[in-house]
Amino acid sequence: MKTEILKIQSDNIDNEKIKYAAEVLRGGGLVAFPTETVYGLGADALDENAVKKIFEAKGRPSDNPLIVHIAGKEDVYGLAANVPPKAQILMDRFWPGPLTLVLEKSDKIPSVITAGLSTVGLRAPSHPIALALIREAGIPIAAPSANLSGRPSPTVPKHVIDDLYGRVDVIIDGGNANIGVESTVLDVTADVPVILRPGGVSFEQLKDVLKNVTMDPSLMKKPAGDFVPKAPGMKYTHYSPKADVIVVEGEPEKVAEKINSLIAEYQSKNIPVGVLATEQTKEFYKSVPSITLGDRLEPETIAANLFKAFRDFDDIGIKVIFAEAIDNQGIGLAVMNRMKKAAGYNIIKAV
Ligand code: AMP
Ligand code: MG
């Protein structure tokens, strides 16, 4: 397939290019576009054949549901069968933005989107290019992350081109996705809303608005063998680099000490290792490639750099990545969820 790359500046949007990409979407084609979380791979959500192409292009298992992207609250009512008051409050507070609401679906949503579930995930992204594209297309856009299934989500255009060039019709190069981790997925069909995936909107922010909110018990620990996920997609590891990841948690200096002893151990076996470090500890890793994700007290920076770091280590042939754990506060919870999943819950405590 011929892929066209359209360069669009988010602070000076070329409407002709948006019109062109919207036309491709309306015609049943695939368009990768930037959002504020990660890049998305879009198709007309109401066109079953177009949606099937997303699964093919990504190699995505068909039992992993897709999030439907819309321009705002006004688009929810046709797509959801029931919009409880708490969903309205959440939309008013967090949309457009990195919050996906799981609601009962209406008959308009084809079951290929929801992997047969009776619910649908809806989100209004805040990225100006994403919003312009959705508005111009005038249709809801199904869009998972624009990576090959199993690879880390793309946060820069090069990642999308690496994974999907030749597999989709259009890739919009709109600069970096600045949050860097995916949206928070919140199921609001139950009395007490449940976080199915932590993301760009934090647990604390949700707590501010909702009396009650819980986290799915499977989020931070390895699911038991008989685990039946609430959403089929939750059973997939996701987000993994090709390298093995080992998370090391504890006090920063103890962590650095532990990682250095692991480095010595792996290097003696000639295994190329890398370290995901923080500003506080970067000086401790001199003998191996290390990437400083950011300051431990600024989890936003760490979130923005995580997926690119995974890919950068893959590009230089690193086989084992030691990743320093950070606090679960704010977006740190989403960072740790992605790191632990990438590690297959291989977590070492430094004492
Ligand atoms: P991705 O598009 O790759 O960010 O993945 C989307 C994720 O959103 C899936 O893996 C699910 O965990 C979640 N999701 C989408 N739709 C639903 C739904 N109807 N119910 C529960 N989770 C959903
Ligand atoms: Mg994804």
**Does residue 232 lie in a domain region?**
no
**Does residue 81 lie in a domain region?**
yes
DSSP 225: T
The closest residue, in CA terms, to atom 2 on ligand 1 is 144
281 plus 202 within the same structural domain: no
Is the per-residue pLDDT at 297 higher than 80?
Answer: yes
78 plus 186 within the same structural domain: yes
- Strand blocks (E) in the chain: 4-7, 31-33, 40-44, 67-69, 99-104, 119-123, 141-142, 170-173, 184-187, 194-197, 214-215, 244-249, 273-277, 290-292, 320-324, 347-349
Sign of CA dihedral 80, 84, 86, 88: positive
**Does residue 236 lie in a domain region?**
no
95 plus 209 within the same structural domain: yes
260 has binding-site annotation: no
64 has binding-site annotation: yes
Q: Find the mean pLDDT for residues 213-242.
A: 74
Ramachandran area for residue 227 (φ above 0: left; ψ -120 to 50: alpha; else beta): beta
**Does residue 220 lie in a domain region?**
no
The strand order across the sheet containing 273-277 reads: 290-292, 273-277, 320-324, 244-249, 347-349
160-182 pLDDT tens trace: 999 999 999 999 999 999 999 99
60 Cα nearest atom in ligand 1: 3
183 plus 331 within the same structural domain: no
Half-sphere exposure of 286 (CA within 13 A, CB side): 2
Identity of the amino acid at 258: K
The closest residue, in CA terms, to atom 22 on ligand 1 is 231
What pLDDT, on a 0 to 100 scale, did the predictor assign at position 226?
Answer: 67
Is the per-residue pLDDT at 130 higher than 80?
Answer: yes
What pLDDT, on a 0 to 100 scale, did the predictor assign at position 227?
Answer: 66
119 plus 263 within the same structural domain: no
Q: What is the mean pLDDT of the chain?
A: 95
What pLDDT, on a 0 to 100 scale, did the predictor assign at position 236?
Answer: 64
CATH code assigned at 334: 3.40.50.11030
183 plus 304 within the same structural domain: no
Q: Which of 185, 236, 341 to mutate to test the pocket of ligand 1 (most atoms within 8 A of CB)?
A: 185
**Does residue 222 lie in a domain region?**
no
236 Cα nearest atom in ligand 1: 10
Q: Are strands 170-173 and 31-33 parallel, antiparallel or unpaired?
A: parallel
38 Cα nearest atom in ligand 1: 4
| Cβ contact 256:302 at 8 Å | no
Which helix (H) or strand (E) element contains residue 22? helix 15-26
341 plus 207 within the same structural domain: no
Length of the chain, please? 351
What is the pLDDT confidence band of residue 233, given thresholds at 50, 70 and 90? low
105 Cα nearest atom in ligand 1: 19
| Total of domains in the chain | 2
The closest residue, in CA terms, to atom 17 on ligand 1 is 121
Distances in Å between the alpha carbon of 295 and those of 249, 260, 313? Answer: 16, 20, 20
**Does residue 191 lie in a domain region?**
yes
C-alpha radius of gyration, the chain, whole number:
20
**Does residue 336 lie in a domain region?**
yes
What pLDDT, on a 0 to 100 scale, did the predictor assign at position 35?
Answer: 98
Ligand nearest to the CA of 149: 2
| Cβ contact 103:76 at 8 Å | yes
* Percentage of the chain lying above the pLDDT 90 cut: 91
175 plus 263 within the same structural domain: no
189 plus 314 within the same structural domain: no
Sign of CA dihedral 82, 84, 85, 86: negative
Expressed as residue numbers, the domain containing 250 is 244-349
36 plus 184 within the same structural domain: yes
176 plus 65 within the same structural domain: yes
156 plus 285 within the same structural domain: no
The closest residue, in CA terms, to atom 9 on ligand 1 is 233
- What residues flank ligand 1, with Cβ below 6 Å? 64-67, 102, 114, 117, 119-121, 144-145, 182, 185, 196-197, 231, 233-234
**Does residue 239 lie in a domain region?**
no
Ligand 1 centroid from CA 43, angstroms: 16
What is the pLDDT confidence band of residue 228, given thresholds at 50, 70 and 90? low
What is the pLDDT confidence band of residue 239, given thresholds at 50, 70 and 90? low
Which helix (H) or strand (E) element contains residue 50? helix 48-58
Is the per-residue pLDDT at 224 higher than 80?
Answer: no
What is the pLDDT confidence band of residue 222, given thresholds at 50, 70 and 90? confident
Distances in Å between the alpha carbon of 299 and those of 23, 328, 333? Answer: 38, 9, 9
What pLDDT, on a 0 to 100 scale, did the predictor assign at position 43?
Answer: 98
CATH code assigned at 42: 3.90.870.10
